[in-house]
């Protein structure tokens, strides 16, 4: 029945074009030049509509054939190769010590300039210092099946999270051919990104955790007016209708923390994805003789976090993923740290996009679970 409807639309368009051609010929023979020109333009428009309709129809059918069971894709976790440093050195992909505007200009803007149809940028508000625009980027394929939100820089001094997110978006945009799962995201997943939630803190030397007024942005339950928080809330509420999940990226930058650390609500479906990714990471590095602690996540009860706000208030599956950057190197921003960040976050994003958590089946073993106080 659907095929008949499609053929009817095509036949109708073809009939209109044929009729217009006959009228154009008659008008031309009668010397009605202006009318002939107008009808000729109309025929061109109709032909364009027909071509567009046929093209979109073919793309839609192709997408259905290639991804007929896209909500139940299965993918093994993997490494994505050694990543360049973010320290501004010879082989680095950026200098994370730059201020906010330079970081945006040198990391995100080149991607947007290369593919403006895929990448859009908007200003969601001014930060509390009134000096910096808070930017949000949207990486949107023509036809998308999921929509996800990635955020970094809530704590602006956690710079390896900001750098890793920038590198992940470079990989998805420019290196999608390296891996089938990355290509799938490039072609089928709309990704909203807030690269740095706290621009003023990121622009200080050294970078500061809080905003210009001294407030932490982990204040999503506060009634006080924190501009960055208010604008992020408004932005998420505007795009929330089709969001599949949100990831808030952080680093611990503290030796007392675990190797891989995630904060997630125990009733949130993402828990199983996080458990699976963490177990794989620990297994891989244990093979290298590294003592890796796989007790990694907790049920954070604090209502101040972006994680809590998205999941408990808005109902968006959400998680806070932290990388213990000093566990992997004695310095921040190095190739080793960025490689570990990309490996952890990108595997988690891929697994979550593929809805792996639906197929886990088992509860998290109790000895792998730690409660984390708010």
Mean pLDDT of 90-102: 94
| Average of per-residue pLDDT values in the chain | 78
So what's the pLDDT on residue 8? 58
Q: At what angle do helices 335-353 and 270-286 cross, to 10 degrees?
A: 140
Looking at residue 94, its pLDDT comes to 95
Token pair 């054939």 in the structure block, residue: 65
Computed over its alpha carbons, how large is the radius of gyration of the chain?
25
**Residue 51 to residues 8, 21, 108, 143: CA-CA distances in angstroms?**
15, 17, 34, 18
Indicate the Cα dihedral angle 373, 209, 327, 101, nearest 10°. 140
- Indicate the pairing of strand 133-139 with strand 146-152: unpaired
Can you tell me the distance from the alpha carbon of 151 to that of 156, in angstroms, rounded to the nearest whole number? Answer: 12
How does pLDDT run across 115-172, given as a tens digit for each residue? Answer: 999 999 999 999 999 999 999 999 999 888 889 999 999 999 999 999 999 999 999 9
Task: For residue 264, name the pLDDT band (cuts at 50, 70, 90).
Answer: low
The mean per-residue pLDDT over the stretch 325-339 comes to 82
- The residue-averaged pLDDT of 97-107 equals 96
Residue 96: its pLDDT value, please? 94
Asked whether 115 and 176 are in contact (CB, 8 A), the reply is no
- Residue 351 pLDDT class (50, 70, 90 cuts): confident
Neighbour tally for 369: CB within 10 Å: 16
Distance CA 220, CA 308 (A): 8
Strands 146-152 and 189-194: parallel
User: What's the pLDDT band for 199 if we cut at 50, 70, 90?
Assistant: very high
pLDDT in tens, 45-78: 767 666 655 554 444 444 333 333 333 444 678 8
Q: Are 7 and 43 in contact (CB under 8 A)?
A: no
Percent of the chain at pLDDT exceeding 90 = 39
Q: How confident is the model at residue 312 (pLDDT cuts 50, 70, 90)?
A: confident
Q: What is the pLDDT of residue 7?
A: 52
Domains of the chain, residue spans: 2-66, 70-368
HSE-up (13 A, CA, CB side) for residue 327: 20
CA-to-CA distance for 139 and 186, rounded, in angstroms? 8
Q: pLDDT band at residue 263, thresholds of 50, 70 and 90?
A: low
Cβ–Cβ < 8 Å for 247, 348: yes
The size of the chain, in residues, is 374
Q: Is the pLDDT of residue 258 over 70?
A: no
* Euclidean distance between CA atoms 371 and 221, whole angstroms: 21
What integer pLDDT is reported at residue 62 of this predicted model? 40
**CATH dotted code for 70-368:** 3.40.630.10
Cα-to-chain-centroid distance, residue 46: 37
pLDDT value at position 332?
86
């Amino acid at each position: 029945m659907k095929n008949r409807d499609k053929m009817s639309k095509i036949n109708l368009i073809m009939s209109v074009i044929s009729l217009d051609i006959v009228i154009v010929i008659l008008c031309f023979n009668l010397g009605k030049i202006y009318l002939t020109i107008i009808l000729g333009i109309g025929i061109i428009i109709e032909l364009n509509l027909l071509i567009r309709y046929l093209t979109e129809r073919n793309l839609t059918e192709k997408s259905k054939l290639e991804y007929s069971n896209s909500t139940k894709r299965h993918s093994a976790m993997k490494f994505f190769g050694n990543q360049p440093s973010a320290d501004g050195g010879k082989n680095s992909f950026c200098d994370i010590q730059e201020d906010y505007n330079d970081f945006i200009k040198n990391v995100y803007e080149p991607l947007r300039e290369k593919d403006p149809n895929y990448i859009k940028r908007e200003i969601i508000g001014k930060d509390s210092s009134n000096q910096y625009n808070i930017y949000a980027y949207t990486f949107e394929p023509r036809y998308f099946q999921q929509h996800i939100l990635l955020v970094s820089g809530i704590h602006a001094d956690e710079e390896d999270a900001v750098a890793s997110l920038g590198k992940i978006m470079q990989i998805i945009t420019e290196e999608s051919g390296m891996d089938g799962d990355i290509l799938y995201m490039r072609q089928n997943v709309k990704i909203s990104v807030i690269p740095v939630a706290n621009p003023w803190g990121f622009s200080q030397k050294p970078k500061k955790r809080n905003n210009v007024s001294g407030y932490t942005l982990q204040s999503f339950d506060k009634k006080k007016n924190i501009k960055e928080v208010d604008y992020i809330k408004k932005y998420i509420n505007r795009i929330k209708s089709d969001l599949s999940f949100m990831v808030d990226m952080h680093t611990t930058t503290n030796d007392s923390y675990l190797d891989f650390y995630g904060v997630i609500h125990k009733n949130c479906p993402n828990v199983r994805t996080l458990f699976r990714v963490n177990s794989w990471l620990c297994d891989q590095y244990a093979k290298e003789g590294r003592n890796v602690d796989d007790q990694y996540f907790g049920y954070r009860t604090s209502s101040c976090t972006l994680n809590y706000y998205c999941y408990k208030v808005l109902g968006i599956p959400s998680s806070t993923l932290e990388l213990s950057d000093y566990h992997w190197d004695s310095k921040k921003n190095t190739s080793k740290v960025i490689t570990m960040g990309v490996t952890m976050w990108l595997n988690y994003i891929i697994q979550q996009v593929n809805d792996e958590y639906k197929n886990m089946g088992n509860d998290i073993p109790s000895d792998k679970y730690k409660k984390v106080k708010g």
